[in-house]
Amino acid sequence: MKLNLEKKCWPLNQSFNISRGKKTEALTVEVNLTNNGHLGKGECVPYSRYNESVESVCNQLENIALDIENGTIDNNNLQDLMLPGAARNALDCALWDLKFKENLKTSWNFFNIPRPGAIKTCYTIVLDEPKKMALDAKLHSNYPILKVKVNEESLKESMLAIRDVATNPKIILDANEGLTVRSLDKLLNFLLEMDVSLMEQPVKSSEDGDLEYLNTSIPLCADESFHNYRDMENIFKRYDYINIKLDKTGGLTEGLKIAQRAKKLKKGVMVGCMVGSSLSMLPALMLHEYADYIDLDGPCFLKKDQENGLVYEEGLLMLPEKACWGG
């Protein structure tokens, strides 16, 4: 087996702003595995919030390159060889893609899952001046679900402006750790008036213990506070939903395990993503049967996506005839 790593930069079609900062490009690492004429691919988006970089991901993968090329690593033992995170995700997804190709099957056939038709996905309204956010919301007011990035300072003004022009979509608010438990408590009645369906990661992961005692009818979703299977023991004391991102779980293998466990516990699941290409979205889409919300709009913010990537139309995503992963 041959391993090849590619560092890629995907310019964005707009600045992607959240409460923690902004980005104008998506930096990814692509893992390519070649074996007996078959090519398996995987992508990850290293995230500085989790102390990751393109360089650190490449270093992790290069450290086990000999084991990969010797064929001694598979999706099962990889879970013990590497910690959850972006590097393991790219390799895990590439191993799965290679396995599909070697078995001459699509990902859907391999897992015996019906190939889905059009699936609702959240569309993100990035943090900006309230008037600009309202304009963006108006342009997408016919979409089924809008995820609105907010901060404490402009949340009320932004939501009033957005609801004035977008009355029909479900609204998920995502503060990316930008609130406090106290400020959230004061906002709850307002959020109910705005018909907010879900509040994602309102406070810092290091300060979310008091959410356990917050009295709210608005479901809370853990993102930065939830990474992998080990986090499941205590997470539902504070949150009603978890956001499963393969870059956090360390790949599809653990992502499936988490999704199955969450549904067995009758807890809410969002399947989310970093801003990346369809090569990142397609493995995550394998979890769609377990998801209450799909949030896989990353490629919508790229100037150019992968060839044979997902097709997006008015808040729906659809598979191409032959996809760039699991095709």
Q: Are 155 and 303 contained in the same domain?
A: yes
Q: Are 126 and 17 contained in the same domain?
A: no
Q: Are 128 and 49 contained in the same domain?
A: no
Domains identified in the chain, total number: 2
In a domain, 227, yes or no: yes
In a domain, 324, yes or no: no
Tokens of 276: 């990346």
In a domain, 212, yes or no: yes
Q: Are 87 and 155 contained in the same domain?
A: no
Q: Is 256 helix (H, G, I), strand (E, B) or coil?
A: helix
Q: Are 134 and 74 contained in the same domain?
A: no
CA–CA separation, 85 vs 267, rounded Å? 23
Neighbouring CB atoms inside 10 A of 49's CB total 11
CATH (domain of 128) = 3.20.20.120
Q: Are 142 and 286 contained in the same domain?
A: yes
Instruction: Supply angle C-alpha 191, 194, 198, rounded to 5.
Output: 55
Q: Are 128 and 188 contained in the same domain?
A: yes
User: Domain boundary residue among 110, 137, 172?
Assistant: 110
In a domain, 220, yes or no: yes
pLDDT of residue 41: 98
Beta carbons within 8 Å of 60's beta carbon, 6+ residues apart:
82, 87, 88
Instruction: Supply angle C-alpha 79, 253, 316, rounded to 5.
Output: 145
Beta carbons within 8 Å of 72's beta carbon, 6+ residues apart:
none
Closest by CA to 78, choosing from 229, 252, 230, is 252
In a domain, 260, yes or no: yes
Look at strands 38-44 and 170-174 and give their pairing.
unpaired
User: Domain boundary residue among 110, 144, 169?
Assistant: 110
Q: Are 219 and 291 contained in the same domain?
A: yes
Q: Are 98 and 227 contained in the same domain?
A: no
Which of the following is catalytic: 41, 101, 147, 245?
245
Question: Across the 327 residues of the chain, what is the mean pLDDT of every consecutive 10-residue run?
Answer: 98 96 97 97 97 98 96 96 97 98 97 97 98 98 98 97 98 97 96 98 96 95 96 94 98 98 97 98 98 98 98 98 96
252 dihedral zone (left: phi>0; alpha: psi -120 to 50; beta): alpha
Look at strands 220-222 and 119-120 and give their pairing.
unpaired
Closest by CA to 215, choosing from 177, 190, 181, 243, is 181
Q: Are 78 and 125 contained in the same domain?
A: no
CA–CA separation, 297 vs 317, rounded Å? 8
Q: Are 146 and 243 contained in the same domain?
A: yes
Tell me, yes or no, if 120 is annotated catalytic.
Answer: no
pLDDT of residue 163: 98
Which of the following is catalytic: 149, 156, 263, 266?
149
Output DSSP code: residue 47. Answer: -
In a domain, 297, yes or no: yes
277 contacts 298 by C-beta, under 8 angstroms: yes
Written as one letter, the residue type at 317 is L
In a domain, 325, yes or no: no
pLDDT of residue 233: 86
Written as one letter, the residue type at 279 is L
In a domain, 327, yes or no: no
Written as one letter, the residue type at 199 is M
pLDDT of residue 56: 98
| Neighbour order of strands in the sheet with 316-318 | 119-120, 316-318, 311-313
Q: With residue 22 as reference, give the H or E element that holds it.
A: strand 21-35
Beta carbons within 8 Å of 196's beta carbon, 6+ residues apart:
159, 171, 172, 173, 218
Tokens of 304: 């150019």
Q: Which range marks the domain in which residue 244 is found? A: 119-318
Closest by CA to 163, choosing from 193, 208, 132, is 193
Tell me, yes or no, if 149 is annotated catalytic.
Answer: yes
